[in-house]
Amino acid sequence: MSKAFVPTAAKPGVITANDLREGHNVWMCEDGWTADPARATLFEDEAIADLALLKAVGQSNLVVGPYLVEARRGPNGPEPTHFREAFRQRGPSNYFHGIQTVKQAVTQTEASNV
């Protein structure tokens, strides 16, 4: 996979992992870890990303297997560039399970708050 990925301004990246206790996918964000990939911190600098990855590795009480992977800037936050990461962000294609249900719940909550 993309563990050797080096982010630049032209090819930024995000840090992602799995939640230790429950196993779901998480992304490093400003205030820790989030299950919403759109909130992920986008790294454009190798040194800063390396430091963040070291920090993530040090949080093994929270997450499993953190790695840095390419992403691109999207209108609503970072977006995946590879289909594997797209599936990780969406959930399986055969059932409406996984992260897509969380996203729907967030969207519904936001809609009801309008």
Partner 1 sequence: MFDVRPVDTDYVRHRAAQFRAQVERRLDGSLTEDEFRPLRLMNGVYLQLHAYMLRIAIPYGTINPDQMRMLAHLAEAHDKGYGHWTTRQNIQFNWPKLVEIPDMLDKLASVGMHAIQTSGNTIRNVTTDAFAGAAADEYLDPRPYAELLRSWSTDHAEFQFLPRKFKIAITGAAKDRALVQAHDIGLRLIQKDGQTGFEVWVGGGLGRTPMLGKVIRDFLPEADLLAYIEAIISTYNLSGRRDNKYKARIKITVHERGLDVFKAEVEEEFANRRRDFHGADREALAIFKDRFAAPAFRNAPTDGYEAERAKNGAFRSWTDTNLHPHKVDGYASVIVTFKTHGETPGDASADQMRLLADLAEQYGHADLRVTHDQNVVLPHVHKSDLPAIYAALQKAGLAVANAGLTSDIIACPGMDYCALATARSIPIAQEIATHFKNNGLEDEIGKLNIRISGCINACGHHHLGHIGILGLDRAGVENYQITLGGDGYDIPAIGERAGAGFPYDQVVPAVDRLLRAYLEVRADASERFIDAYRRLGPAPFKAALYPEPAHA
Interface residues with partner 1 (CB under 8 A)?
18, 20-25, 60-61, 64-65, 81-84, 87-88, 91-95, 97-99
User: Do 17 and 88 meet the contact criterion of CB atoms below 8 Å apart?
Assistant: no
Given the complex with partner 1, which of 34 and 45 has the nearer CB atom? 34
Given the complex with partner 1, which of 5 and 45 has the nearer CB atom? 5
Given the complex with partner 1, which of 22 and 30 has the nearer CB atom? 22
- How far, in Å, CA of 17 to CA of 10, rounded? 23
> What tokens appear for 18 in the block?
């799995």
Residue 21 Cβ vs partner 1, minimum distance, rounded to whole Å:
5
H helices present in 22-91, as ranges? 46-57, 83-90
